[in-house]
Amino acid sequence: MLQKSLLAARATPALVTITINVPPTATLTGGGTICSGDPIPDMTVTLTGTAPWSITYTDGVTPVTVPGIMTSPYTISGAGDGSYILSAVSDASCTGTFSGSAAIITNPLPTATLSGGGTICSGDGIPDMTVTLAGTAPWSITYTDGVTPVTESGIMTSPYTISGASDGSYVLSAVSDANCTGTFSGSAAIITNPLPTAALSGGGTICSGDPIPDMTVTLAGTAPWSITYTDGVTPVTVPGIMTSPYTISGASDGSYVLSAVSDASCTGTFSGSAAYNYNPITNSYAFWRRNDLFGRSNTRYDCNISGYCTMVYYLY
């Protein structure tokens, strides 16, 4: 009986189950390039194998391990700028293999600042306006005088110069660089003042003792004015003139012209002339008077301008 039982035991086979698990895999993708202030792009890890998974990813400096992942794909959100790779993956059964990479790059916003311009006199060179740029070339800017927008694209260097603009108050309304749309600031104005003018007139011819006639300078421009007039010998400058016309009184005999005029803003042009001429009055006069009916004598009266006379008798 014992021998039979042993033979029976040897005849019963043992059952052994061998399970070979496929190693998990993990593939990293996603990320991207953004502009400052934009939402941070996600990175995605696509997993194969049996949950739960554990992954480790790194930006080359700081490794981050995420255990207990139950679904694939797994999303990594809110990561900082950097270049990322996986460094480990495991699932419920095994350690696996990994691949892929992702980068997050945040470009700063470009900036543009407008300055320059200025106030000039008519005929002067038009002042430049300058746009100082930050960011990555090429830039595109739009500026306007409040009426007409002007776009300049393909700008490769900073600062950018705007030349030959018309009078007006200018601001920027847009800027972009190779990557992003940015912010802008500053302003510039170009103001052209007309040249002042001065025209001299008046004067005249008088007799000695008459009131001296005025000369008049008619001015255009912005007070205060300064004028210089001359009789060809002595220049006279009159600053701080606040009203037009300006009157020159009590001048001496001579022929007068203007030689300079300026106003609050510019040096200008002048024209016209004026002259004083005095006609002298004879200082004495004489007349004759016959003294008798038969004409035997005459009297000569020599008188001065004051009415005082001397008499001379002539007999014949």
> Tens digit of pLDDT for each residue in 95-145?
999 999 999 999 999 999 999 999 999 999 999 999 999 999 999 999 999
* Confidence band, pLDDT 50/70/90 cuts, at residue 297: low
Q: Report the percent of the chain where pLDDT is more than 90.
A: 76
Give the mean model confidence (pLDDT) for residues 170-176: 98
* Confidence band, pLDDT 50/70/90 cuts, at residue 290: low
* Confidence band, pLDDT 50/70/90 cuts, at residue 276: confident
Cβ of 81: how many Cβ atoms within 10 Å?
14
Q: Output the average pLDDT for the chain.
A: 89
Q: Is the pLDDT of residue 249 over 70?
A: yes
**Selecting from 3.40.50.10490, 3.40.50.720, 2.60.40.10, 3.30.70.3290, what CATH number does the domain 25-107 have?**
2.60.40.10
CB neighbour list of residue 230: distance below 8 Å, 6 or more residues apart: 236, 256, 257, 259
Q: Which two tokens stand for residue 270?
A: 């002048």
Residue 313 amino acid letter: Y
The span from the CA of 161 to the CA of 119, in Å, is 17
Q: Is the pLDDT of residue 243 over 70?
A: yes
Q: Is the pLDDT of residue 6 over 70?
A: no
| Cα-only R_g, the chain | 53
Q: Tell me: the pLDDT tens digits for 16-47? A: 888 888 999 999 999 999 999 999 999 999 99
The span from the CA of 142 to the CA of 124, in Å, is 26
Preceding omega of 213 cis (within 30 degrees of 0): no
The span from the CA of 142 to the CA of 316, in Å, is 111
Q: Which of 52-66, 118-132, 275-289 has the lowest mean pLDDT?
A: 275-289
Between the CA of residue 272 and those of 220, 238, 248, what are the distances in Å? 14, 17, 14
pTM: 0.74
Structural domain boundaries in the chain: 25-107, 111-193, 197-279, 284-315
Give the mean model confidence (pLDDT) for residues 55-72: 97
Round to the nearest angstrom and report the end-to-end CA distance of the chain. 218
In DSSP terms, which residues pair with 29 in a beta bridge? 44
Q: How far is CA 204 from the centre of its chain?
A: 53
**Selecting from 3.40.50.920, 2.40.170.20, 3.30.750.24, 2.60.40.10, what CATH number does the domain 111-193 have?**
2.60.40.10
**Selecting from 1.10.3720.10, 2.40.30.10, 3.30.70.270, 2.60.40.10, what CATH number does the domain 197-279 have?**
2.60.40.10
Q: Is the dihedral of CA 154, 160, 164, 170 positive or negative?
A: positive
Give the mean model confidence (pLDDT) for residues 172-185: 98
